[in-house]
Chain A
Amino acid sequence: MVKLLKKLVFKLYVICLMLFTVWYGHFMYPLIFGFEGKEEAGESLKEIIRTGSEEETMFSRLIAEQTETSQTDLGYRVIDESYIEGRFHHIGFTLQHDNTNVCIRCHGSVPHDGSKETRSFLNQHAFYLACETCHSRPRAGAETWTFNWYDKVTGKITGNPRALVEIEEMFTHEHETEQYPTYGNYGVKIAPTQNDSGIRKLLHGEKEMALAERYIAEQELLEPDQKTAMKEVLHRKVSKDHPQCRECHNQEDRYLPFEKLGYPPTRLRELVNVPVVNMIQKYQKFHFPTLLESDEIEK
């Protein structure tokens, strides 16, 4: 019995070694013939870029482009940041993309491009608010929502971000730190959550993602009317009645419970007195004639 086992182990070892030999042959190949490989890679990229009309070229280039990072070494510190072509000013951080939100799967992470006055501000909010935070509303009579943070990478609900507290500390110990407080890139986002048989779950969670994936995978096979119907189903939770600036940015009754979400006092004061909102108010008759109107019209 032991003999048989030994024999088996031996044969297994020999087979593994044979596989290792084959792997080594494969591993060596680029090392030996390395220089040529690089040129081929460059060649294929050229192929992508050379195709077709301006739009096609633009498209191919956008597909070929990858999220690049750049490094600036100042000696006493190294700055890692996202590289954005044509940008002069340093951003000083790496953009974290949300790959778990179902809406972003189709609409992308910089979705607002409507009015010139609001698009950048709304995209800014998309950095730390899930789409459904504003684009969905609890149905009348349904269970009220609670708002939680979720991780941009894992999609799991997390506690309040430590980064917010750190910003507060920067304010209170201004003299001891070289850092300048900036907001938004916490690695987490605020989203409405519901109680699902004792467990807190995202309003747009795995179930919705699975549906969207299925739609994306099978849309080529669908009849046009089927497509419309399915889109209708997918967007069922989307509400036209989204919160206005001042529903959150006000002193009294706020749609988002900033305190519960971990905003420290200094930041809270900024949020409820948001200079931008106030500036908008002040400047309405000068250079901001339509900003608030655009909200009001939809109402």
Chain B
Amino acid sequence: MREYRLFNSILVITAFVLVGAVFSVAEADTEVNCLICHKHRGLSRIDEQGKFRLYYINNEMFESGPHRRNKCHDCHSDKDRFPHDPTVKVDCTQQCHIVEPSGQAKFSHKPIADTLSKSVHGKFDADGNPKKYQEDYPGCKDCHDQPLYRPVSVYKGETKDGVSKRSIGRCRSCHRTGYFAEDFYDHVTSRLRRGRFPMETINVCAKCHQNQEFLKRHELDDAVTTYKETFHGKLIALGSERTADCLDCHVVEGENTHLIESKLVPTSATNKANIGNTCRNSDCHVNASAELSSFQVHVTYERDKYPMQFYMLIFFKALMAIILYFFLALIFFELLRRLFPKFSFIKEKKTSDDTDFEPLSDDADK
């Protein structure tokens, strides 16, 4: 990678020569050539929809993910001239030049798209009829930005974030050609954990499942806000990677994460028949009974849906309000009383059976 960058920078320095010499045809199709313009951070405009469009490509970021061996042109196949023609949307399901190593076919994201279409997020129902509000159903880019590797290093029993140079060195002793060792290492170790930090996964779901307009259209509860009220959500917000995020409960253990199904579907992870095992899966509540799953995650505190929570909340809030505001008022008036200690509407006199009482005298304040 580094050599590649050095090469790149030399190219940039002498690019004007190259531009003339190498690409005498009016086509811009290599990494270097695109970056001549797209390396500039401010390359941008406001489009007709009022959206800010930034055309900057951060090459360092691009090279940190599994797409790094793709050329710009592999996805943006319509970009063959400058100024660019109006954009054709990138099709993620197209075949790319890489041969998928477990088989002989060219690599494509099409199987993922097929899985997605079978899930609750697919645009068509089981009978093949289009669902209502088609445009609300997600495509690849609604959940994914450019993927980045999250490699881990395991050495002498210690697991750390990042690449282990030692391990790569050992791979390289046999796999000498090209970037095979680096790519394989990054790819495999990133797969040993979630591709994204749990909070990022939650934010992805939140784009729709916390969007009030969307929820109203589809008659759904706010799954994300309610989830964030649970200890799972809170620990993740505080940086934990060890508690359950959306996918842990909504995808069957071992299943493709794109296959999220409605709890009404018998094979769904959250179906009544399976949810016990979802909680008790091998990484989570192993010692629990299936009864644990009657814990309610998405509690909205609505009176009809969650009466126990509703009344408990009312009780505690009332208790808190009464006690705290009573004492607050008491303290406030006590302080006020201290400002004018001698004043009183009714002055009580000393009585005969009250030998030790002396009304507050003026001296008392001195």
- Residues of A whose CB lies within 8 Å of any CB of B are 3, 11, 14-15, 17-18, 21-22, 24-25, 28, 32-33, 35, 38, 42-43, 45-46, 49-50, 58, 62, 70-76, 79, 84-93, 95, 108, 110, 112-113, 116-117, 119-121, 123-128, 171, 174-175, 178-185, 266, 269-270, 273-276, 278-279, 282-283, 286-288
- Of B45, B196, B200, which contacts A119 at CB under 8 A? B45
Q: Which residue of the partner chain, among B20, B42, B60, B339, contacts A124 with CB atoms under 8 Å?
A: B42
A18 to B213, Cβ gap below 8 A?
no
Cα distance, A178 to B61, chains bound together (Å): 11
Known contacts A72-B148, A84-B52, A125-B42: A25-B325 contact under CB 8 Å: yes
Given A84-B54, A90-B58, A113-B45, do A46 and B13 touch, yes or no (CB 8 Å)? Answer: no
Q: How far is the CA of A116 from the CA of B45 in the complex (A)?
A: 10
Nearest chain-B residue to A49 (Cβ)?
B213
> Who on chain A is nearest to B210 by CB?
A42
Is residue B41 within 8 Å, beta carbon to beta carbon, of the partner chain?
Answer: yes
Indicate if the CB atoms of B332 and A21 lie closer than 8 Å.
Answer: yes
Q: Are B42's CB and A90's CB within 8 A?
A: no
Q: What are 7 A-B contacts with C-beta separation under 8 Å? A: A75-B151, A75-B161, A91-B58, A120-B43, A171-B9, A182-B60, A275-B15
**Interfacial chain A residues near B339, Cβ < 8 Å:** 11, 14-15
Q: How far is the CA of A25 from the CA of B333 in the complex (A)?
A: 14
Which of B49, B146, B331 contacts A21 (CB under 8 A)?
B331
Q: Could you say which residues of chain A place their CB within 8 Å of the CB of B20?
A: 278, 282
CA distance A93 to B58 in the complex (A): 9
- The residue in A73, A119, A175 that gathers the most chain B C-beta atoms within 10 A of its C-beta is A73
Q: Are B36 and A275 in contact (CB under 8 A)?
A: yes
Query: A-B contact count, CB below 8 Å?
Result: 202
* B317-344 interface code vs A (CB 8 A; 1 in, 0 out): 1001100110010011001101100000
Residues in A whose Cβ lies below 8 Å from that of B113: none
* Chain B residues, CB < 8 A from A273: 16
Q: How far is it, in angstroms, between the C-alpha of A9 and the C-alpha of B46 when the chains are bound?
A: 60
The answer to whether the Cβ of B199 comes within 8 Å of any Cβ in the partner chain is yes
Quick check: B141 and A91 within 8 Å, CB to CB?
no
Interface members, chain B 26-64 (any A CB < 8 Å): 26, 36-37, 39-46, 49-64
Contact indicator B44/A270 (Cβ below 8 Å): no
Bound Cα distance from A254 to B242, whole angstroms: 58
Distance in angstroms between the alpha carbons of A87 and B141 in the assembled complex: 8
Q: Does B212 contact A (CB under 8 A)?
A: yes
- Decide: A32 and B321 in contact? CB cutoff 8 A: yes
Interface residue? B185 (CB, 8 A): no
For the complex, what is the distance from the CA of A116 to the CA of B54, rounded to whole Å?
A: 14
**Interface presence of B145 (CB below 8 A):** yes
Residues of B within 8 A of A73 (CB): 150, 197, 199-200
Task: Tell which of A74, A183, A185 touches B150, judged by Cβ atoms closer than 8 Å.
Answer: A74
Report chain B residues within 8 Å CB of A178. 60
Do B42 and A174 touch across chains, with their CB atoms under 8 A apart? no
Contact indicator per residue, chain B 221-251, by CB within 8 Å of chain A (1) or not (0): 0000100000000000000000000000000
A38 contacts across to B, CB distance below 8 A: 225
- Residues in chain A near residue B63, CB distance under 8 A: 180
- Within 8 Å CB of A286, what residues of B? 26, 81
Chain A residues with Cβ below 8 Å from B163 are 76
Q: Is residue B120 within 8 Å, beta carbon to beta carbon, of the partner chain?
A: no
A293 to chain B, nearest CB (A): 14
> How far apart are the CA atoms of A91 and B61 in the complex, in Å?
7
Report the separation of the CA atoms of residues A175 and B236 in the bound assembly, to the nearest whole angstrom.
37
- Given A11-B339, A90-B58, A124-B43, also A269-B13 (CB < 8 A): yes
